[in-house]
Amino acid sequence: MQLEHALAVVTGGSSGIGFATAERFVAEGARVVISGRNAEKLQQAADKLGENALPVIANAANPEDMQRLYQTAVGHFQCDVDVVVANAGISRQTPLRETTLQQFSDVLDINVGGVYSTVREALPFLARPASIVLVASLAASQGTKNFSAYCASKAAVVSLAKCFAADLVELGVRVNSISPGVAHTPIFDTLGISEAQLLQWSNAIPMKRPAEPAEVAAAILFLASNASGYVTGADLAVDGGMSGISPF
Ligand SMILES: NC(=O)c1ccc[n+]([C@@H]2O[C@H](COP(=O)([O-])OP(=O)(O)OC[C@H]3O[C@@H](n4cnc5c(N)ncnc54)[C@H](OP(=O)(O)O)[C@@H]3O)[C@@H](O)[C@H]2O)c1
């Protein structure tokens, strides 16, 4: 058991990578608070996770929501927070010509502002030591046609992990990011990306398949747990070789 008795908060824990992470954390002995905006989806996820999971409806981009989430978590479980996974995020196609500044900002509000509030509002409630994992993306380092808002937001997340690591190292709080490539989750349903296009993307992955959410969760567990006790300010690629292996 790698997280026995730990209290973990996973934003966006109702679906995809966040849900798989919460599931793995519970299996490793943790109590887990999961958040999301859709109450029904969140309750269904909590029901699947069982009694060691507490659902709290909260928009990660709203600091008051996040403050309430941490107060609820600490009040309910009567201990400080050992692990925070800032996972909540959205993806949108934002073609340069057709995307307004407001539409661009909407993506950054959640993907960057949400991560900022998730970490900032956690500070009064953190145990010492504690571990924070930010979910970035391979998109942080690869220009992708029609995805400038998403790519820029994820580049900011990688940078935030390094900056927060510097801000918090003296407090015994480690901060790292992970960069998944393509993982098989409902995020693609919102993008209008066809199965054929996904198959094409998969063929470009050296391992020739997308990640299962549980595989990304295993990498998050490594960064969350004491197994990575000497790791801070790092970004871990979980991308089937996409960033590290030349296509030639
Ligand atoms: N899947 C991939 O290929 C991939 C690759 C690289 C990185 N990522 C990153 O991994 C993270 C999880 O993505 P996923 O693929 O698992 O997507 P997903 O299945 O769509 O899950 C996203 C989760 O985030 C929640 N969420 C979205 N906006 C939120 C907000 N403002 N406040 C609170 N919760 C919010 C959603 O719940 P509600 O909608 O109910 O709020 C949901 O629980 C994201 O940051 C994504 O960018 C994914």
* Local confidence pLDDT in tens for the 248 residues of the chain: 999 999 999 999 999 999 999 999 999 999 999 999 999 999 999 999 999 999 999 999 999 999 999 999 999 999 999 999 999 999 999 999 999 999 999 999 999 999 999 999 999 999 999 999 999 999 999 999 999 999 999 999 999 999 999 999 999 999 999 999 999 899 988 888 877 888 888 899 999 999 999 999 999 999 999 999 999 999 999 999 999 998 88
Question: Which residues' Cβ are closer than 6 Å to ligand 1?
Answer: 11-12, 14-18, 35-38, 41, 59-61, 87-91, 110, 114, 135, 137, 180, 182-183, 185-187
Ligand 1 centroid to Cα of residue 90, in Å, is 5
CATH code for 7-238? 3.40.50.720
Residue pair 31/77 in contact by the 8 Å Cβ criterion:
yes
- DSSP letter string, 91-107: -----TTT--HHHHHHH
pLDDT at 201: 83
Which class for 57: exposed (0-12), middle (13-18), buried (19 or more C-beta within 10 A)?
middle
Q: Which of 11, 32, 37, 38 best tests ligand 1's pocket when mutated (most atoms within 8 Å of CB)? A: 37
Question: How many Å apart are CA 62 and CA 64, to the nearest integer?
Answer: 6
Is 150 among the residues known to form the active site?
Answer: yes
Six token digits for residue 102: 């407001």
- DSSP letter string, 190-221: GTT--HHHHHHHHHTSTTSSPBPHHHHHHHHH
Sign of the alpha-carbon dihedral angle for 65, 69, 75, 81 = negative
